[in-house]
Structure 1
Amino acid sequence: MATVSPALPPALRRKRRRERARTLAFLSPWLIGFGVFFLYPLASTAYFSFTHYDGYLAPTFSGLKNWDYVFTKYPPFWQGLGNTLWLVAVMVTLRVAFGLGIGLLITKVKTGAGFFRTAFYLPYLAPPVAATMAFAFLLNPGTGPVNHLLGEAGLPQPGWFTDPSWSKPALTMLAMWGIGDLMVIFMAALLDVPREQYEAAELDGAGALQRFRYVTLPNISPIVMFAVVTGVIQTMQYYTQAIVAGKVASGVIGGSGQQFESGYPHGSTWTLPQMVYNLGFQHYDYGSACVVALILFALTMAFTSILLRRKSGFLTED
C-alpha cells in the first residue's frame, strides 16, 4: 500500500517559495538576455524561413518554398557549404596544430622568449580588414613580394587570391598568421603541466615524442578541446576576411557603382555567412536567408555536440 508523504508545514512552504523567488531573481538577468537575444531571434528566424518576406511588406506564409529554393534552385548554396566545411576541416586543424607548436617552441626558448611572444601575438591585434588587405597585397601574383621571392628561388608562383585552387589555402595562411590568441592559451596550459610528470617519464626512459604523447597531451587535452570547439564556431561564421580578400583581389576595394562577384574568384571564397547577407540584405529575400542561417546554426550545433561528447577531449581515452 502506497504511503502518502505528509504535507509540509506552512512555514516551510513559505521558506521554499522565498528561496525559489530569490533564485529566479538572481537568474532573471540571464533569463531575460537568453530570451531576448537567443530564443526570440531563433524563433523569428524559424518563422520567417516559412514565409515570403522582403523587409517591406508583411510576411506571408509560403510553406517549404524557401527551403526548396535554397536546396534545389540556388546553385551557390552547395559551393558555399563545401567551402565552409573545407575551412572548418583544414583551417581549424592547422590553426590548432600551429598554435600548439608555437606555444611549445616558446616555452622551450631560454633567451628572447618575451620578444618571440610579442612577435607572434602582435598580428592577432591587427584589425581583420586591415590585416586581410595587407595580406592580399603581399600575395598579389603580379606585384607582391611573396611571389617575387618565390620566383627568385625558382619556385612556382601561385595566383593566391586570384586562383580558385589557392584562395582557401591563402585564407588559411592568413588565419595562421594571426595565431596569437591560441599561442597564449596553449602557453598557459603548457606551463601548467606538472614538472614532476616529465621527470618521472624521463626516469622511465621516455623520449621527447613519448613525453609529449603521454604527459603533455593528456594534461592539455581540455584546452585543445576548447581551441577546437571555439575554432569551429568562429570558422562557421567566417565572413570578413573572405569577402575583403575577394574584393581586393578583384580590384573592388571601395567606391560606389563597382560590381563585385561574391566569392571571388569563381565562388572559391563563398561561405554560408556571405550567403545570408547576400540573400537577405542584397536581394531582400529574408525567407531564404533565414533558411541558410538555420542550416548554419544546425551545423554548428552538430559539430559542437560531436566534439563535446568526449568529456576529457578527443586526444585521450575516457
Structure 2
Amino acid sequence: MAKAQPRSGIRQYLKRWNAPFAGYLFIAPWLIGFLVLQLWPIIQSFYLSFTEYSLLEAPQWIGTKNFEAIANDRLFYNSLKVTFTYVLASVPLKLAAALGVAMLLSRAIRGISLYRTVIYLPSLIGGSLAVAVLWKNIFGIDGFINKLGVVIGITPKNWIGSPETAIWTLILLTCWQFGSAMIIFLAGLKQIPSELYEASSVDGASKFRQFFMITLPMLSPVILFNLIMGIINSFQAFTSAYIVTNGGPINSTEVYALFLYNKAFGSLEMGYASALAWILLVIVSIFTLANFLASKYWVFYESETGSGK
C-alpha cells in the first residue's frame, strides 16, 4: 500500500498536466501562426518605423525623422482628407442600405431565401479584383452608365476621371457591398420579440414610431458592431482605389492605404510606410474607442433592464 500511493499521486499529476497540454496542443497551429505571421511582423514594423529602409539595404536607425517627415508631407494630409471623406460618407450609407434591405428581407414571404441569397452575392465577390475592374468599366467614359445616360438624354461624364466624382464611384462600390452587414442586421431583427410590436400596435403606434422606439433601440448593439467594423474596414480600403482609379485624378482618390502602399512598394520607403501604418493604427484606435465610450449614451442592452440600470 505504501508503494501504491506514490504511483497514484504520479498518475493524478500526469492527468492534471495532460489536460492543459492537450488544449495547448490543439491551439498550437493558431498560436504559431499568430506569433510568426502577426505578432512578429507587428514588432518588426514598429522597429522599422524608426529606420530608413529600402529593402535593398540594411535598416538604418534614424529615430523620429520618419514621423517628422510625415508631419510635413502634403500628400499625407491629402490622403487623410480623402480617407475621412470616404469613411464618413460610405459607412452611414452602407449601414442604412444594409438595415433597409434587412428589414425587407425579414418578412415571411414566398421565396425569401432566394432573395436573400441573390442580394448577398455581391458581397461574396465584392472585394475581388474582377469586380473592381468591372466597376471601372461601368463608370468609364464609354461605360454602361454613360450609355444609359445617353438613352435618357443625359450628357456623358467622365465619372472616374473627374476629381469631383471619382471618390463617389468608390463610395458607391462600397455601399453596394452591404451583404455582410445585412446578414448581421437580419439576425438581430429576428431576435426582437414580436410581442413588443403587438403591444405597440394595440396602443396605436404607427410603423414609423415602432421603428424608432422599438427596432432601433433593440438593434443598437448590432448597429454598434456593424459601425465599428465598417469604420475599421473603410480606413483600410485599398483594392477599389488601386484598381478603379489608382489614386487619381490629381490624388483625389488616394486613400490612406493606397498612399502607404505607394510609399512602401513604389518608392521603397519601408521605414516611412511603417510609420504610416502605426499612425493609421492610432487613428483607427481613437475612432473605435470613441464609439465604445459614446455607446453608453445610445446603445440599449436588454439585460440592463432586469438589473435596474
Distance (whole Å) between structure 2 residues aligned to residue 133 and residue 197 of structure 1: 46
Taking structure 2 as the reference length, the TM-score comes to 0.83
CA offsets, 1:35-62, max 9 Å, x none? 4444433332222111111112221211
Question: Are residue 243 (structure 1) and residue 242 (structure 2) matched?
Answer: yes
Question: Are residue 298 (structure 1) and residue 297 (structure 2) matched?
Answer: no
Letter in 1 for 2:62: S
Question: Are residue 284 (structure 1) and residue 268 (structure 2) matched?
Answer: yes
Contact 2:224/2:295 (CA < 8 Å) preserved in 1?
A: no
Change (3 A) 1:44 1:146: same
CA offsets, 1:160-217, max 9 Å, x none? 2111111111111111222222222211211221101111111121111111111111
Contact 1:51/1:62 (CA < 8 Å) preserved in 2?
A: yes
Aligned counterpart, 2:253: 269
- SS of alignment partner, residue 108 of structure 1: coil
C-alpha root-mean-square deviation of aligned residues, in Å?
2.7
Distance (whole Å) between structure 1 residues aligned to residue 222 and residue 116 of structure 2: 19
Contact 1:221/1:313 (CA < 8 Å) preserved in 2?
A: no
Aligned counterpart, 1:42: 42
Contact 1:217/1:315 (CA < 8 Å) preserved in 2?
A: no
Aligned counterpart, 2:3: none
1:222-237 alignment runs, 5 A limit: 222-237=221-236
1:1-318 alignment runs, 5 A limit: 22=20, 26=24, 29=28, 34-72=34-72, 74-108=73-107, 110-126=109-125, 128-141=128-141, 143-155=142-154, 157-246=156-245, 262-310=246-294, 314-316=298-300
Letter in 2 for 1:178: Q
Aligned counterpart, 1:4: none
Give, in angstroms, the shift of residue 154 of structure 1: 3.5
Distance (whole Å) between structure 2 residues aligned to residue 296 and residue 316 of structure 1: 30
Letter in 2 for 1:120: I
Distance (whole Å) between structure 2 residues aligned to residue 51 and residue 218 of structure 1: 49
Distance (whole Å) between structure 2 residues aligned to residue 237 and residue 197 of structure 1: 39
Distance (whole Å) between structure 1 residues aligned to residue 209 and residue 239 of structure 2: 40
- The alignment-based identity, stated in percent, is 31
Distance (whole Å) between structure 2 residues aligned to residue 76 and residue 41 of structure 1: 26
Q: Which runs of 5+ in 2 are unaligned?
A: 1-8, 302-308
Taking structure 1 as the reference length, the TM-score comes to 0.81
Change (3 A) 1:199 1:157: farther
Change (3 A) 1:191 1:86: same
Contact 2:218/2:300 (CA < 8 Å) preserved in 1?
A: no
Change (3 A) 1:270 1:58: same
Number of residue pairs aligned between Structure 1 and Structure 2: 286
Distance (whole Å) between structure 2 residues aligned to residue 102 and residue 44 of structure 1: 43
Distance (whole Å) between structure 2 residues aligned to residue 151 and residue 98 of structure 1: 28
Give, in angstroms, the shift of residue 24 of structure 1: 12
Give, in angstroms, the shift of residue 109 of structure 1: 6.2
Give, in angstroms, the shift of residue 219 of structure 1: 1.5
Change (3 A) 1:23 1:295: farther
Letter in 1 for 2:124: L
Distance (whole Å) between structure 2 residues aligned to residue 23 and residue 219 of structure 1: 42
